[in-house]
């Protein structure tokens, strides 16, 4: 069931507090979503919400990115005070939150100085400090089967360890990298139409299938993209490059631990059309 929008109004996307949660370029996710709608002839509007400004509760999809501990703590205070994001989710809006944004959506996280800080409680997860060690590098994820997605890739850079509670399922299983970092092989979290992940990149530029999943949650069945779009080779080339980079870091690990995934990755790395 999609979120109802009156008449032919544009799909509205809200990029929240990019001056606080924009350290890793995750704001690019908003551009990806808008463009993938426009390619299909669907009107779209991206609203940038600055700190101190009211967060609208009428948008269809909300985006949060990564940031440092201090800005992260400021961001959650503003979001909790207004309650707009919680109301929007309750009304059917979708959310994509990356890294610090992912932690903000949980029950608690380690804020500035390592002090525990209450999150928004939109995801049943808790984040603690990871013993002073940062988890940095290419991250490859085999997504949960029910999501119907291809292999996910991204770049992680975080010091937190995120443990999922019973009310939240993982976005996928780690193949290369660290993900949630708790040793159980999970990456990210999904509850309803809310997704949290440690995948930077921006994640939607590297994983267009994930972008379309989010859009389908708020638009319904998406019209097909125009055939042979000029963007397709660039998107495919980016995915193949990132998968190859991760494969060099974990040579042989995919084939040993995840045979079905290894064959999917190898298929993605084959040149297309004689290229």
Task: Collapse the DSSP code of 270 into the 3-class scheme (helix H, G, I; strand E, B; otherwise coil) and give the result.
Answer: coil
The owner of tokens 């290894």 is 262
Q: What gap in Å lies between CA 252 and CA 240, rounded to an integer?
A: 17
CB 222 within 8 A of CB 49: no
Indicate which residues carry an active-site annotation: 99, 200
Q: Dihedral of the CA atoms 83, 89, 95, 101 (nearest 10)?
A: 30
CB 180 within 8 A of CB 165: no
In this structure, what are the phi and psi dihedrals at residue 205, rounded to the nearest 5 degrees? -70, -35
Q: What gap in Å lies between CA 106 and CA 97, rounded to an integer?
A: 10
List Cα–Cα distances, 250 to 20, 67, 137, 196, in angstroms.
33, 28, 11, 25
């Amino acid at each position: 069931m999609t979120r109802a929008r009156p008449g032919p109004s544009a799909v509205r996307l809200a990029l929240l507090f990019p001056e606080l949660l924009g350290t890793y370029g995750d704001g690019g996710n908003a551009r990806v979503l808008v463009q993938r709608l426009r390619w299909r002839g669907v009107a779209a509007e991206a609203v940038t919400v600055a700190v101190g400004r009211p967060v609208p509760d009428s948008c269809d999809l909300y985006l949060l990115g990564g940031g440092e501990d201090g800005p992260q703590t400021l961001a959650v205070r503003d979001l909790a005070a207004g309650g707009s994001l919680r109301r929007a989710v309750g009304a059917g809006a979708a959310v994509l939150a990356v890294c610090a944004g992912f932690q903000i959506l949980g029950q608690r996280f380690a804020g500035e100085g390592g002090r525990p800080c209450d999150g928004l409680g939109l995801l049943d997860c808790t984040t603690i400090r990871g013993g002073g060690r940062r988890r940095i590098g290419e991250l490859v994820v085999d997504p949960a089967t029910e999501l119907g997605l291809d292999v996910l890739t991204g770049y992680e850079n975080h010091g937190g360890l995120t443990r999922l509670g019973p009310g939240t399922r993982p976005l996928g299983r780690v193949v290369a990298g660290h993900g949630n970092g708790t040793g159980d092989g999970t990456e990210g979290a999904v509850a309803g139409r809310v997704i949290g992940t440690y995948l930077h990149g921006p994640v939607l530029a590297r994983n267009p299938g994930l972008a379309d999943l989010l859009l389908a949650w708020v638009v319904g069945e998406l019209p097909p993209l125009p055939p042979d779009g000029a963007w397709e080779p660039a998107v495919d080339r980016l995915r193949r490059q990132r998968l190859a980079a991760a494969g060099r870091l974990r040579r042989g690990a995919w084939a040993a631990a995840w045979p079905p995934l290894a064959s999917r990755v190898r298929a993605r790395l084959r040149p297309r059309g004689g290229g």
